[in-house]
Amino acid sequence: MLDVLIVDDEPLARARLVRMIDQLSDYQVSAEATDGEQALAAVVQHDPDIVLLDIHMPGEDGLQAAQAISELDAPPAIIFCTAFSEHALDAFATSAVGYLLKPVRLEQLEAALAKVTQLNKMQRAAARGTTSRTSITAKTHRGIERIALNDIRYFLADQKYVTVYHTGGQHLLDTTLKELENEFGDQLLRVHRNALVSVPHIQALERCPDGGLQVRLADTDIAPSVSRRHASDVKALLQQL
């Protein structure tokens, strides 16, 4: 089940998209927003797979919002839903994967969503990188320290910083989750927009008291949160282990 964020300042337009998505078994609406600023906040909070985004909205318009969203680590796919065809070139310049003209028809929406689903599978396959490196380096008060990949449990991004948590403690890194994922894709798994975990040390996917999901890792009491967007990847991996 893929989560969809609907962004449109017109309540009737949002309601129409909600009704159509309710007719599709593989998708669900996780949140709604009425402008670009709310859209960015909703992406950060809900980590949707797909954003259905209007262009003409008060304040920050859809093109500006799409640019900001695309700069996030592991951004969702963006499909523009607009009444204006003249923005198509600008829209695709923001890395959008679809452009639907209002009034959106169900078969058009379903086709655009299916394209995103296929792209997600291809991107995940391409992200399973390989590397000969068996460690990473971190700058500490003692200088440059080497951390063995086998000692690493997970990486957590917080705004501009990435922290590596390992058996010897934790350190800030001068890198991004995307760079780590590209290099160590066969050894790391993204479980949240802001978290990568070590595949060999995944033990279980557990339900939290608040109803959310978390992944239990070997040799640590900290269980990183798993977003609904990435839960299926964790389940599939556990079935293979």
Indicate whether 227 and 185 sit together in one domain. Answer: yes
Residue 5 has pLDDT above 90, yes or no: yes
Indicate whether 67 and 162 sit together in one domain. Answer: no
126 versus 27: the higher-pLDDT residue is 27
Residue 46 has pLDDT above 70, yes or no: yes
pLDDT band of residue 144 (cuts 50, 70, 90) is confident
Looking at residue 54, its pLDDT comes to: 93
Looking at residue 125, its pLDDT comes to: 52
Give pairs for 94-103: CB < 8 Å, separation 24+: 94/63, 94/66, 94/67, 94/70, 95/66, 95/70, 96/53, 96/66, 102/13, 103/16
Final residue in a domain of this structure, among 109, 126, 143: 126
pTM: 0.63
Which residues constitute the domain of residue 151?
A: 135-240
12 versus 184: the higher-pLDDT residue is 12
Q: What is the mean pLDDT of residues 11-40?
A: 94
CATH of the domain at 199: 2.40.50.1020
d(CA 48, CA 82): 20
Residue 101 has pLDDT above 80, yes or no: yes
Looking at residue 198, its pLDDT comes to: 93
Q: What is the mean pLDDT of residues 121-139?
A: 65
159 versus 80: the higher-pLDDT residue is 80
Q: How many domains does the chain have?
A: 2
Looking at residue 127, its pLDDT comes to: 47
DSSP notation for 9-70:
S-HHHHHHHHHHHHT-TTEEEEEEESSHHHHHHHHHHH--SEEEE-SS-SSS-HHHHHHHHH
Indicate whether 85 and 120 sit together in one domain. Answer: yes
Give percent of the chain above pLDDT 70. 89
pLDDT, the chain, mean: 85
CATH of the domain at 48: 3.40.50.2300
C-alpha pair distances (Å), 40 with each of 14, 123, 132, 175, 238? 17, 22, 37, 23, 32
Phi, psi of 84, deg, nearest 5? -120, 115
Final residue in a domain of this structure, among 103, 126, 149: 126
Q: Quick check: 69 and 76 in contact, CB under 8 A?
A: yes
Indicate whether 7 and 107 sit together in one domain. Answer: yes
